[in-house]
């Protein structure tokens, strides 16, 4: 393939950008290369006073083509291309176009060896060690990839911690708050973890070995739904409590899983603290008169309030 230089890019872009709308005296664009399946192009033409000029001319295609050709011939890697255009001031002059390539490490998607995964896991362990006695290893874990393929790298959420807490046992997802792999977003996964209480006063869910095995498996499934759902944490925060999903036959007499906000949060994760969401399985007889609310907010709040009274 013939070499393609920055000079060539400036020549090709000049021909396209000179078709500027009336009133435009300059233009500035920033283009990012394709990374983790995503690229971007922002910017536009400006008037002399700096205001943006609307343009019907599609620049994105030519930018994409030029950036791709530069990438195949680049001596040094880059992931950002800045383009600047200035209209010629005299009829016999050419417009001025400059193309600059840079490498921004912050735009590089997280790979399988990024230290943030281990840092997130360590922060969660520290939190649960401050709450109770964390059993070594996991009460349950799944090695196969979830639908996002994340577990091919770090198994970020398909595992459950067991914590002894007074006369109760806590089961907690361990990884919903792991930063996503393959992206650059500074987010702790879905920004929450789920905790469920077994045993203790007034709790109909016992904390024996069979119950721990059953509900650990259920929590992995709930975690999959939360990871795949759209802003589940926001819905719980907004409603106070929701009826999140139905439970399988082997969970009977429990038939529905309610989610509500826990008062605690987990500190020290790579991109800030994350929320705790409490999962509580409910029976049909605890949910009389379900209304038309899509999240069953009123029924969930009533049932959880009644359950809380029974613990007193």
User: pLDDT by residue (tens digit) across 87-138?
Assistant: 998 888 899 999 999 998 888 888 777 888 889 999 999 999 999 999 988 8
Give backbone dihedrals phi and psi of 303, rounded to 5 degrees, phi first.
Answer: -65, -40
**Residue 209 falls inside a structural domain:** yes
Among 48, 75, 107, identify where a domain stops.
Answer: 107
How does residue 204 score in pLDDT terms, banded at 50, 70 and 90?
confident
Cβ neighbour number for residue 209 with a 10 Å cutoff: 7
Among 72, 107, 142, identify where a domain stops.
Answer: 107
Claim to verify: residue 10 and residue 65 sit in the same structural domain: yes
| pLDDT tens, position by position, 229-238 | 768 899 999 9
C-alpha distances in angstroms, 272 versus 10, 120, 189, 203, 275? 42, 10, 11, 33, 10
What global pTM score does this model have? Answer: 0.71
Percent of the chain past pLDDT 70, that is, above it, reads: 89
Residue 4 has pLDDT above 50, yes or no: yes
- Contacts (Cβ under 8 Å, ≥6 apart) of 138: 159, 160, 161, 162, 174
Claim to verify: residue 171 and residue 289 sit in the same structural domain: yes
Least confident of 100-104, 159-163, 301-305: 301-305
Claim to verify: residue 148 and residue 285 sit in the same structural domain: yes
Q: Are 303 and 291 spatial neighbours (Cβ–Cβ below 8 Å)?
A: no
Claim to verify: residue 82 and residue 120 sit in the same structural domain: no
**Residue 1 falls inside a structural domain:** no
């Amino acid at each position: 393939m013939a070499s393609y230089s920055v000079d060539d890019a400036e020549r090709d872009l000049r021909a396209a950008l000179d078709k500027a709308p009336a009133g435009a005296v300059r233009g500035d664009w920033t283009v990012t290369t394709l990374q983790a399946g995503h690229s971007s192009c922002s910017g536009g033409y400006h008037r002399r006073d700096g205001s943006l000029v609307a343009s019907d001319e599609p620049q994105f295609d030519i930018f994409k083509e030029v950036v791709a050709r530069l990438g195949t011939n680049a001596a040094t890697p880059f992931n950002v291309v800045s383009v600047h255009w200035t209209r010629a001031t005299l009829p016999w002059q050419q417009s001025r176009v400059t193309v600059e390539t840079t490498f921004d490490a912050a735009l590089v998607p997280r790979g399988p060896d990024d230290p943030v995964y281990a840092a997130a896991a360590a922060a969660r362990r520290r939190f649960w060690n401050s709450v109770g006695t964390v059993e070594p290893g996991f009460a349950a874990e799944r090695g196969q990839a979830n639908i996002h393929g994340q577990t091919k790298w770090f198994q970020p959420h398909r595992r459950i911690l067991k914590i002894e807490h007074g006369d109760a046992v806590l089961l907690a997802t361990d990884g919903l708050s792991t930063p996503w792999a393959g992206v650059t977003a500074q987010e702790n996964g879905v920004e929450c973890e789920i905790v469920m209480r077994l045993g203790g006063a007034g709790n109909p869910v016992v904390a024996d070995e069979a119950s721990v095995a059953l509900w650990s498996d259920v929590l992995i499934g709930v975690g999959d739904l939360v990871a795949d759902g759209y802003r589940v944490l926001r819905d719980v925060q907004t409603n106070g409590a929701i009826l999140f999903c139905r439970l399988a036959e082997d969970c009977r007499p429990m038939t529905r899983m309610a989610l509500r906000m826990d008062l605690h949060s987990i500190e020290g994760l790579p991109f800030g603290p994350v929320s705790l969401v409490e999962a509580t399985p409910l029976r049909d007889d605890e949910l009389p008169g379900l209304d038309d609310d899509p999240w069953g907010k009123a029924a969930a709040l009533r049932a959880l309030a009644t359950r809380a009274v029974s613990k007193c």
